[in-house]
């Protein structure tokens, strides 16, 4: 039927009947974007992972029965305890030293700034093993230590060899090294606080100490704490060097047992590896929750924890299962 001139024709009338029915019944079809490269990379990674696990499980060279024997032996556990003690003492002393060095670096005194910069520069440049060996042989340079007036009488004198035990040498060496890195972490955290916060605190007439403890430090901790927790992972691994100053930590205990039982060197190395993996994994878990805690002031909604993600995934699977059962 012809339409008068000027009469509008609707799309439904102009379109063929078959096309209209297909569009109204099925609707437009959405084709998902293909990612062949992603699937190929996933397949390659899974194959390599399967080969690695198969090699660990079937290679008799690893001697998993001896690994199980050594994993909880008292000698290994005693070394593990020493590793934890050295790490704890060094972490606390290193952080305290880092705070003092950072404050000195930010001080208006040129002497304090120069002394702090020189310390950080020197300790970050010298390898840790050199620092430990130097402290271990410190008694050869200074047999006695004294406190008193420079170039004058000494008020207190004590034997350095009796004071510097193996534990003290290890803790002091690691603390000195850790303080240099912690100083930069603390300094960066303080500098990350906006200058307007300092100006606002000064405008309120607060004392400088109260400005730092109440306004600057809480905001700086958002950057300092997560970064320093990450620094602890490196400290845990660095404790393996205290074996060279005659302290039998986890690595030192394994080395000693490997010398006595040369056929068990590989299982002992695997024991040390697994224990270090467990320790660093525990620190990583703490780091995740610390970062999440201090992210509260920066983001409105906190990211879900792994447990919350697992619960959400299980709830989604259950909802899908119920939907399929209803159909």
pLDDT (tens place) for every residue of the chain, 327 residues total: 445 554 444 444 444 444 444 444 556 777 677 778 888 999 999 999 999 898 888 888 888 889 999 999 999 999 999 999 999 999 999 999 999 999 999 888 999 999 999 999 999 999 999 999 988 887 777 777 667 667 667 666 766 666 778 888 899 999 999 999 999 999 988 888 888 877 787 787 878 788 777 888 778 887 888 888 888 998 999 999 998 888 889 999 999 998 888 888 999 999 999 999 999 999 888 888 877 777 666 666 666 777 777 787 788 777 777 776 766
Residue 252 lies in a domain: yes
| Global pTM value | 0.76
3-state secondary structure the chain: CCCCCCCCCCHHHHCCHHHHHHHHHCCCCCCCCCCHHHHHHHHHHHHHHHHHHHHHHHCHHHCHHHHHHHHCCHHHHHHHHHHHHHHHHHHHHHHHHHHHHHHHHCCCCHHHHHHHHHHHHHHHHCCHHHHHHHHHCHHHHCCEEEEECCCCCEEEEEEHHHHCCHHHHHHHHHHHHHHHHHHHHHHHHHHCCCHHHHHHHHHCCCCHHHHHHHHHHHHHHHHHHHHHHHHHHHHHHHHHHHHHHCCCCHHHHHHHHHHHCHHHHHHHHHHHHHHHHHHHHHHHHHHHHHHHHHCCCCCCCCCCCHHHHHHHHHHHHHHHHHHHHHC
Kindly report the CATH number assigned to the domain that includes residue 221.
1.10.3720.10
pLDDT at 25: 52
Inside any domain, residue 286: yes
Do residues 226 and 294 lie in contact, with contact meaning Cβ atoms separated by under 8 Å?
Answer: yes
**Environment class of residue 45 by beta-carbon count within 10 Å: exposed (0-12), middle (13-18) or buried (19+)?**
exposed
pLDDT for 317? 76
Is 317 a member of any domain? Answer: no
- Give how many domains the chain has, as a whole number: 1
Residue 20 is predicted with a pLDDT of: 44
Q: Specify the pLDDT at position 18.
A: 45
In 3D space, the residue among 225, 317, 275, 228 whose CA is nearest the CA of residue 83 turns out to be: 275
The predicted structure's pLDDT at residue 15: 47
pLDDT of residue 149: 66
> Which residues are CB-contacts of 144 (< 8 A; sequence separation ≥ 6)?
157, 158, 159, 160
What residues make up the domain containing 122?
A: 64-295
**Sign of torsion, CA 41 42 43 47?**
positive
């Amino acid at each position: 039927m012809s339409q008068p001139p000027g009469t509008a024709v609707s799309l439904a009338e102009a379109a063929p009947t078959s096309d209209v029915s297909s569009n109204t019944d099925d609707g437009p079809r959405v084709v998902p974007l293909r990612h062949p490269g992603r699937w190929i990379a996933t397949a390659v990674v899974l194959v390599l992972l399967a080969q690695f696990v198969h090699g660990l499980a079937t290679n008799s060279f690893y001697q998993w029965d001896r690994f199980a024997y050594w994993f909880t032996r008292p000698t290994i556990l005693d070394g593990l305890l020493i590793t934890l003690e050295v790490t704890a003492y060094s972490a606390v002393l290193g952080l305290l030293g880092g705070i003092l060095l950072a404050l000195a670096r930010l001080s208006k005194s040129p002497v304090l700034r120069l002394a702090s910069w020189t310390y950080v520069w020197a300790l970050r440049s010298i390898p840790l093993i050199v620092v430990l060996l130097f402290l271990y042989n410190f008694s050869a340079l200074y047999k006695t230590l004294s406190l008193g007036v420079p170039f004058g009488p000494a008020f207190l004198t004590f034997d350095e060899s009796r004071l510097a035990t193996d534990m003290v040498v290890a803790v002091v060496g690691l603390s000195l090294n850790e303080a240099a890195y912690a100083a930069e972490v603390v300094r960066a955290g303080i500098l990350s606080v906006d200058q307007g916060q300092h100006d606002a605190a000064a405008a309120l007439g607060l004392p400088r100490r109260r400005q730092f403890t109440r306004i600057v430090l809480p905001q700086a901790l958002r950057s300092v704490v997560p970064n320093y927790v990450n620094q602890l992972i490196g400290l845990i691994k660095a404790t393996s060097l205290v074996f060279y100053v005659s302290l039998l930590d986890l690595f030192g205990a394994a080395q000693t047992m490997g010398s006595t039982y040369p056929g068990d060197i590989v299982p002992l190395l695997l024991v040390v590896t697994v224990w270090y993996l467990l320790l660093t994994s525990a620190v990583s878990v703490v780091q995740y929750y610390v970062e999440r805690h201090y992210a509260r002031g920066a983001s409105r909604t906190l990211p879900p924890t792994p447990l919350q993600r697992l619960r959400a995934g299980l709830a989604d699977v259950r909802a899908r299962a119920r939907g399929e059962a209803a159909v």
